[in-house]
Structure 1
Amino acid sequence: MSFAAPPFAQPRIEPSLKRVRVLFGGSYVVDTRDAKLVWEKPLYPTYFFPMSKMDPSWFHKSSKDNQEHGINIYDLVVGDRNAPAAVTAFTGEASDTKDLAGLFKIEFSSTDAWFEEDERIYVHPKDPYKRVDVLQSSRQVRVTLNGVELASTNRPRLLFETGLRVRTYMPLTDVRVDLLRPSDTVTECPYKGVAKYYNVQLPDGEVHKDIVWYYRTPQPECGQMAGYVAFYDEKVNVWVDEDDYAEVPNARARVQ
C-alpha cells in the first residue's frame, strides 16, 4: 500500500531552515535563506522563492507564456545559456494558487546544480517528513518468473521508505546473473542515488525489460545497498520465508 506524505491540503507551504542556492550558467541565480518548501502534490516538496529574490536581468518573459490566469512564465537567461520556460511566477490572481502569490519556482532539471547549504541535492528537495531505512534481514526470499528461479537468498536487505512499499535488495551473488542483460535505462532518486537496470532473458529467449535495478554508488544513507539488486516485485513471483512459501504472482513481495 502506498501512503501520501502527512495529509496536507495542497499547496502546503512552510519555511525552509536551509540556505538554498541554484547554479546556472556559472552564476547562482538564487542564493537565499528564505526559501519555501511547497507541496504542490502529496509525495514530495518543491522549492519556491520570494519574488524579491528574482534578479530581473536573468528572468526574461517567455514566448511560451500562455497568459494562464495567475501565473507568469519566464526564460532563465545567463550569458549565452537559455533555459526556456524554466521559471513560473505566481501572481495570486487565480483562486487555486492564491496562497503562492509573490513566489516563484524554477524547474529543477533546467539548471546546472542545486545546493542545500554546501551539499548538492538531486532530482528534488528531500521531504523532511520522509525517511529511508535499509535493514539487514534473515528472511528467506525466492524470486521466480515463468517457472524459472531468478534469485534465492537468506540475507536480503529491506528498504523501508516512507509512503512507498518495502523493497527487497538481494546480494548479486545470490542472483542468476547469467540471465541478466544490461539495460540503457537510468533513473534518479534524491534519497538513494542513480539507479541502473538489467533486463532478464529467460532460457527460452523471452526478454523482460527493466525488472532488476541497482545503485552502484548509493547515497550515504543507503550505502548498505551497494552490491545488491532489487527485483520489480509487481512483475515477478516472490516467496518470503521458508515456512510460508506462498506464491504471489505478479504482486508485491510479502514482506510483513
Structure 2
Amino acid sequence: MGLSWQQGPLAPGAVGRFLVPGPLPERMPFAEPLRRRMRVRFGGAWIADSEDVVLLHEPGRYPVAYFPLGDVTDDVLQPGEHTTRHRDLGPTVWYTVRAGGHSTPRAAWQHTELPRYAGELEGRVAFAWRAMDAFYEEDERIVGHAADGYHRIDIRRTSRHLVVRGGDGIVADTTSPLVLYESGFAPRWYVPRADVDASALTAAEGRTFCPYKGLASYYDIAGARRAAWSYEDAWTEVRRISGLLSFEADQVEVRLDGTRLRPEPGQGVVAHGVDRDLTLDEASPGRHP
C-alpha cells in the first residue's frame, strides 16, 4: 500500500476514513517533494539527475516522479505528435526519449496547461518507468516504481498457534510464526520451514516481484495453485522472512489460535510489469552496495 494506491488514505478503496463532517472530493491527487536525489538511465547514459524531484500520488496508481526540465540532459526529449488530456491536470504532451543511439516514443510526458492548484508540477517532466533502463536513488537502483514513503513493513515474532490444512492433511503447524504487517494489508503470517510438511508442497512455475521484499517463489498444495509463497532470499530490509512460507487463506485453510483466517476485501495485489533489463542479480539483496 502507498498513500493513494491499494487501501491507502487517498485511494478509492481506503481502509479508513477522514473524520470530517462533509464528503471529500472523489479524487485528491497529492504532490510532495521527494527530498532524495533521483537519477534516470536510458540508452546507457544518465539522462536526468535531480535533487528537486516532486512525487505525484494519484488515486489508484503508484507514485510518479517529476523532474525539473533543467535537470534533464539537453536533446534527450524530442516532442512528438501524441497528446492526451489528464482528468485533473489538463493537456499532456508526450516525448520521444533519445540517448546513446536508442530512441523510444511516448517515453516521457509533461502537463502543459496546469490548473493553478497544481503549480508544483510546472516545468516538470515524468519518465515512463518501464521505458527507461533504470531509476536510481543516489547509487542504488529503485525497481518496480518510485519508492512510496508511506509504505511501511514491520515484522514481529509471536507465539500464536498457526495451523494450515490442505487436502486431507496438515501442511503447517507452528507456535513460532513471524507476522508481517504491511501498510494497508491484513497481516501475513510466515512459517519456519521446520514446521512445514515439505512433501505437501509442489513448486510452481513463475515468480513475482515486490519492490519492497524481492522475488517470490510459489507452491501448489493438493491441487490449490500458488497456495503458498516464499521469499527465498528476501531483501535486506525484510531479511527475517527469508525462506519462510506464507499461505493464501482463500486457497487453503489457515487457522490462527483456532479461528479461521479469511481474505479481506481489497487485499489483492495490484500487478505491475517488471522493469526493462532488470536482472535477477539486481532483484536480489545484493543490489545494495
Alignment of 1:180-219 (within 5 A): 180-200=201-221, 202=222, 207-219=223-235
- 1:251 partner letter: P
| Corresponding residue number in structure 1 for 2:260 | 247
How many residue pairs match? The answer is 241
Which of these residues, 56, 59, 68, is aligned with residue 41 of structure 1? 59
| Corresponding residue number in structure 2 for 1:22 | 40
Preserved CA contact (<8 Å) 1:21 1:32: yes
In structure 2, do the counterparts of structure 1 residues 114 and 13 end up closer, same or farther at CA, with 3 Å as the change threshold?
same
Rounded Cα–Cα distance in structure 2 between residues aligned with 1:161 and 1:3: 11
When structure 1 is superposed on structure 2, of 70-79 and 153-162 the one drifting more is 70-79
Preserved CA contact (<8 Å) 1:235 1:251: no
| Corresponding residue number in structure 2 for 1:4 | 8
Rounded Cα–Cα distance in structure 1 between residues aligned with 2:147 and 2:56: 12
Rounded Cα–Cα distance in structure 2 between residues aligned with 1:95 and 1:70: 14
Partner-residue secondary structure (3-state), 2:239 = helix
Report deviation, 1:62: 4.2
| Corresponding residue number in structure 2 for 1:54 | 72
| Corresponding residue number in structure 2 for 1:103 | 124
Partner-residue secondary structure (3-state), 1:70 = strand
- 2:247 partner letter: F
Coordinate RMSD, CA, aligned:
2.7
In structure 2, do the counterparts of structure 1 residues 148 and 80 end up closer, same or farther at CA, with 3 Å as the change threshold?
farther
When structure 1 is superposed on structure 2, of 5-14 and 119-128 the one drifting more is 5-14
Partner-residue secondary structure (3-state), 1:233 = coil
Rounded Cα–Cα distance in structure 1 between residues aligned with 2:78 and 2:255: 56
TM-score by length of 1: 0.82
Partner-residue secondary structure (3-state), 2:259 = coil
Structure scoring higher RCO (CA < 8 A, sep ≥ 6) equals: 2
Rounded Cα–Cα distance in structure 1 between residues aligned with 2:224 and 2:102: 41
| Corresponding residue number in structure 1 for 2:251 | 235
Rounded Cα–Cα distance in structure 1 between residues aligned with 2:172 and 2:61: 31
Rounded Cα–Cα distance in structure 1 between residues aligned with 2:165 and 2:227: 12
Preserved CA contact (<8 Å) 2:31 2:54: yes
Report deviation, 1:41: 2.7
In structure 2, do the counterparts of structure 1 residues 62 and 218 end up closer, same or farther at CA, with 3 Å as the change threshold?
farther
Rounded Cα–Cα distance in structure 1 between residues aligned with 2:177 and 2:205: 26
In structure 2, do the counterparts of structure 1 residues 22 and 33 end up closer, same or farther at CA, with 3 Å as the change threshold?
same
Report deviation, 1:186: 2.1
Partner-residue secondary structure (3-state), 2:154 = strand
Preserved CA contact (<8 Å) 1:11 1:99: no
Which of these residues, 98, 110, 125, is aligned with residue 77 of structure 1? 98
Which of these residues, 126, 139, 144, is aligned with residue 165 of structure 2? 144
Percent identity between matched residues is 29
Rounded Cα–Cα distance in structure 1 between residues aligned with 2:173 and 2:97: 51
Report deviation, 1:14: 0.9
In structure 2, do the counterparts of structure 1 residues 150 and 71 end up closer, same or farther at CA, with 3 Å as the change threshold?
same
In structure 2, do the counterparts of structure 1 residues 110 and 43 end up closer, same or farther at CA, with 3 Å as the change threshold?
closer
Rounded Cα–Cα distance in structure 2 between residues aligned with 1:235 and 1:100: 44
- 2:251 partner letter: K
